Amino acid sequence: MENLLIDTNIVVDLLSRRENFYQEAQELFTLADENDVKLFISALTFVNTHYLLLRHLSENEARKVMIKFKLLVKILPLEDKILELALASDFRDFEDAIQYHTALENKLNIIITRNKKDFKTSRIPVLTAKEYLNR
């Protein structure tokens, strides 16, 4: 079974039902629901997703969504070592560096994101949800 780090944009695609991106995100999470893959997110993704949902939902509605979502993924801690590695990395975007080093430190197989260009120097495969589903 593959262990996948899911980037924040994919989570938001799913939970916000983003047009043009929801279907692929939904199919990916269905694979996890069927125990074909295991999905992981950084604690940072959980926090950022809640924040982004507040643009469209009330606090109460956003919390309900996050409670249900939490059942679908394993949330990985944001530890000091990951922050140190991210700060010292050559990533231009700090949040992407945190995602990358979370995946590395937890020995995950693949990063799933819509912004592959943000992970140019990755030592592990980086795929879009569509690319992963079409393999």
pLDDT band of residue 1 (cuts 50, 70, 90) is confident
pLDDT for residue 33 is more than 90:
no
Largest CA distance in the chain: 40
C-beta atoms surrounding 120 within 10 Å: 10
How many percent of the chain have pLDDT more than 70? Answer: 100
d(CA 127, CA 14): 17
